[in-house]
Amino acid sequence: MWAMSAVAYRRLGTAGSVAVVTGGWAAGALPARDPWGLWVPHGSVLTTSAAVLAYVGLTLLVVAWWQYGRAGAPVRETLVTLAWWTAPMLLAPPLYSADVYSYIAQGAMVLEGHDVYVVGPSVLDPAGLGGDAASSVGGHWTDTPAPYGPLFLVLARGVTWLTGGTIVPAVLGMRLIAVGALVLIVWALRRLAREHGASESAALWLGALNPLLLMHVIGGLHNDGLMIGLMLAGVVLALRGRWITGSALVGLAMMVKSPAAVALLFIGVLVTRAATGPYVRRLAKGLLAPGLVAAAVAVTATLLAGTGFGWLGTQSVAGTIHTALSATSDIGLGLGHLLHLVVGTDPAAVKSVVQTLGLAAAVALILHLGWRALRGSVEPVHALGLALLALVALSPMVQPWYLLWGMAVVAATASHGRAATVVAVLSAGLVYETQPTGSTPPYGFVMAGIACAIGTLLVRRERRAPNGVRLPAQRSAEPAGAGEAPVRRVGSGSV
């Protein structure tokens, strides 16, 4: 690829972001009804042209991101670049996902007293509060109970109440939450990188500037960004000795989406290693105390929200929807059909068994990583990133943006590791898997595969070059800024 300055790549990426948003106004995840008439279809020819423009813009953004990482810009310049690439998306319609309509509809359901953990958005009056959002929800989710925690539902309720459920202001209100999540992620990434002697610029490049995050957290407004931000902030505080507050933040992250609970195991490792006294007592404290704090936060949040504890029973609803990125679902379905032909076995039952085995394997890997972190053979926070990636790889439902769960942690802890390079290549590919409308056409997987292949070839070529330029994730750490106070390690009982 050609070489330009970091500023030139910033401008190229900004042009790409503008093109994505411009195309999204006609080819994004537009609502079924918009009373303001801003986000409405414009005919098949214009929609197709807009989709092509969005794909061209996305490619420019991916190329600019990859090359920007090789240019080696400092932290301040990377933050400016992040602002430039994010700004065009702030007023855009939903891009690459229609999930935000489910969020708004669920907020309306809470306002109207419906149990969001029993029924789906279809219970809303089409002409009433949240009706426009409910009519825009994807077919799979119309009658599906909410798999989200009470904290997120309270935020969705607040946005719906403030905007009256009107589509455009409600979407923009949810985007403010997404931007806040991005700010929190940036804050945590810098501090985690500093804590682990890694490059802050590299962490921001992979964990925040990443097109996969920008498209699906800012453009697509997925609440995974808020979960990640709260989880990372909790880990930062735990590393600084404030494990009780850190565990409480992880508890809040769980009240957005439950996978954040994995962080409690590794905060427990930090507590165990820092505690004093007999080993059994230290281990018991590490295994139990963070979980008890998070559980207390979860119970309190649930009671204050008034949405009930139904979220405990809806965590598996997503697994009922087949996604081609889930290896266990694909294997289970294929094996199920094969056995059906041979012995007449129900394919759905076989698929369920394989999915369960996959989750069991994920739990085993997570516990193994926790054990290795406890023994000191792997750094606890980096082990958390690997654990989250393992959970995604073996989950019964996998979406492209699920990669962000572990990627954000790995970005700050693996500045010399292969894991960061792997997730960088996957990011460049998976961003193509979804159309601007939010659908996943077969050619999306082809484009994702081509992008991953190109990324792999580029990485190998740079590794073979005698003095090849490396990605930020492969560079040495940059020194901390002058005047920064040393970070305190986790203590045995500080708050």
Tell me, what amino acid is at 73?
A: A
- Read off φ and ψ for residue 399, nearest 5 degrees: -115, 155
Residue 201 lies in a domain: yes
- With contact defined as beta carbons under 8 Å apart, do 109 and 102 qualify? no
pLDDT in tens, 44-88: 899 999 999 999 999 999 999 999 988 878 999 999 999 999 999
Residue 493 lies in a domain: no
Which pLDDT belongs to residue 454?
Answer: 95
Question: When comparing pLDDT for 277 and 288, which is higher?
Answer: 288
Determine the Cα–Cα distance for residues 418 and 473; give it in Å rounded to an integer. 9
Determine the Cα–Cα distance for residues 187 and 30; give it in Å rounded to an integer. 32
Determine the Cα–Cα distance for residues 114 and 92; give it in Å rounded to an integer. 30
Tell me, what amino acid is at 363?
A: V
Q: Domain of 286?
A: 6-309+321-325+399-474
Which pLDDT belongs to residue 382?
Answer: 94
Say if pTM beats, i.e. exceeds, 0.75. yes
Residue 358 lies in a domain: no
Average pLDDT over residues 354-372: 95
Tell me, what amino acid is at 405?
A: W
Determine the Cα–Cα distance for residues 282 and 152; give it in Å rounded to an integer. 34
- As a residue count, the chain comes to 495
pLDDT in tens, 299-347: 999 999 999 999 988 877 766 777 889 899 999 999 988 988 888 888 8
- With contact defined as beta carbons under 8 Å apart, do 130 and 108 qualify? yes
Determine the Cα–Cα distance for residues 245 and 254; give it in Å rounded to an integer. 14
- With contact defined as beta carbons under 8 Å apart, do 207 and 455 qualify? no
Which pLDDT belongs to residue 479?
Answer: 42
Which pLDDT belongs to residue 488?
Answer: 38
- With contact defined as beta carbons under 8 Å apart, do 495 and 245 qualify? yes
Average pLDDT, rounded, for the chain: 90
Residue 296 has pLDDT above 90, yes or no: yes
Residue 184 lies in a domain: yes
Among 74, 81, 102, which Cα is nearest to 17's?
81
Determine the Cα–Cα distance for residues 403 and 389; give it in Å rounded to an integer. 7
Question: When comparing pLDDT for 480 and 216, which is higher?
Answer: 216
Residue 107 lies in a domain: yes
Which pLDDT belongs to residue 319?
Answer: 66
Residue 16 has pLDDT above 90, yes or no: yes
Question: When comparing pLDDT for 144 and 263, which is higher?
Answer: 263
Determine the Cα–Cα distance for residues 403 and 392; give it in Å rounded to an integer. 7
Return the C-alpha torsion angle 8, 185, 391, 383, nearest 10.
Answer: 100
Handedness of CA 330, 334, 339, 345 (dihedral sign): positive
CB atoms within 10 A of CB 356: 14
Got the DSSP string for 441-479?
-HHHHHHHHHHHHHHHHHHHHHHHSTTPPPPGGGSPPPP
Among 14, 16, 200, 223, which Cα is nearest to 100's?
223
pLDDT above 90 covers a percentage of the chain that reads 75
Residue 276 has pLDDT above 90, yes or no: no
- With contact defined as beta carbons under 8 Å apart, do 327 and 394 qualify? yes
Residue 491 lies in a domain: no
Which pLDDT belongs to residue 431?
Answer: 96
The total number of structural domains in the chain stands at: 1
Residue 338 lies in a domain: no
Residue 209 has pLDDT above 60, yes or no: yes
Residue 164 has pLDDT above 80, yes or no: yes
pLDDT in tens, 429-484: 999 999 999 999 999 999 999 999 999 999 888 777 654 445 554 544 444 443 33
Residue 71 lies in a domain: yes
Residue 183 has pLDDT above 60, yes or no: yes
Got the DSSP string for 182-227?
HHHHHHHHHHHHHHTT--HHHHHHHHTS-HHHIIIIIIS--THHHH
Tell me, what amino acid is at 162?
A: L
